[in-house]
């Protein structure tokens, strides 16, 4: 799966890189994948899988799925 962590979410990923590829051996709950990466689920405000906005808790990902995550962004 290809993961893009938008906004400040890349802070939590290895080497603070915003794009990560993860090999999944079976369909997996996205929340479990993120927990494994150490990305706090509370910081994820929007979840987009293959271009569709989805519920993070319900999302299951696999193979070449493209996942984009965005935090709650403030102003400025």
Partner 1 sequence: MAYGSTAKILRVNLSTGALEVETLSEDFYRLYPGGKALAGYILLNELPAHTEPFAPENVLVIANGLLTGAPVSTATRYVVSARSPLTGGYGESEAGGFWGPELKMAGFEAIVVKGRAPQPVYLWIQDGVTEIRPAAHLWGRTTAEAQETIRAELGDEKIRVLQIGIGGENLVRYAGLTNDLRHFNGRTGMGAVMGSKNLRAIAVRGSLRYQSLAHDPETLLALGRKLSKAVRDNPLSWDLQVRGTPGLVEPLNTAGILPTRNFRQGAFEGVDELKWEAYEKQLLTARRSCYACAVRCKREVAVNGQPSPYGGPEYETLGAFGPNCGISDLQAIAKANELCNAYMLDSISAGATIAFAMECFEHGLIGLEDTGGLDLRFGNAEAMLAMLEKIARREGFGNLLAEGSKRAAEKIGGEAKFFTIQVKGQELAMHEPRGKYNVGMGYAISEIGADHLVVAHDPAFANPEAIQFKSAAALGITVAQPSRLLNAEKMKHFYILEKWGSMEKTTGYCFFGPAPRSFIHPDDVLLSINAATGWNMTMDDLLQIGERGTNLARIFNLRQGFSRQDDTLPERIFQGLENGPLQGLGLPRDDFEQALTILYALKGWNAETGVPTRERLESLALGWAAEMLPVDTQK
Minimum Å gap between C-beta 49 and partner 1 is 12
Calculate Rg over the CA atoms of the chain.
12
Nearest to 22 by CA among 54, 70, 69: 69
Q: Which is nearer to partner 1, 24 or 41 (CB)?
A: 41
Measured CA to CA, the distance from residue 69 to residue 46 in angstroms comes to: 6
Q: Which is nearer to partner 1, 26 or 53 (CB)?
A: 53
CB 17 within 8 A of CB 10: yes
Minimum Å gap between C-beta 20 and partner 1 is 15
User: What residues make contact with partner 1 under the rule CB under 8 A?
Assistant: 6-9, 11-12, 16, 40, 42-43, 45-46, 48, 53, 68, 70-76
Q: What are 18's two structure tokens?
A: 């915003």
Q: Which is nearer to partner 1, 27 or 40 (CB)?
A: 40
């Amino acid at each position: 799966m290809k993961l893009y962590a938008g906004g400040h979410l890349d802070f939590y990923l290895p080497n603070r890189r915003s794009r990560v590829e993860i090999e999944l051996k079976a369909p997996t709950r996205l929340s479990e994948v993120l927990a494994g990466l150490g990305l706090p689920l509370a910081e994820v405000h929007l979840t987009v899988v293959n271009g569709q906005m989805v519920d993070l808790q319900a999302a299951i990902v696999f193979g070449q799925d493209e996942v984009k995550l965005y935090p709650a962004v403030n102003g400025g």
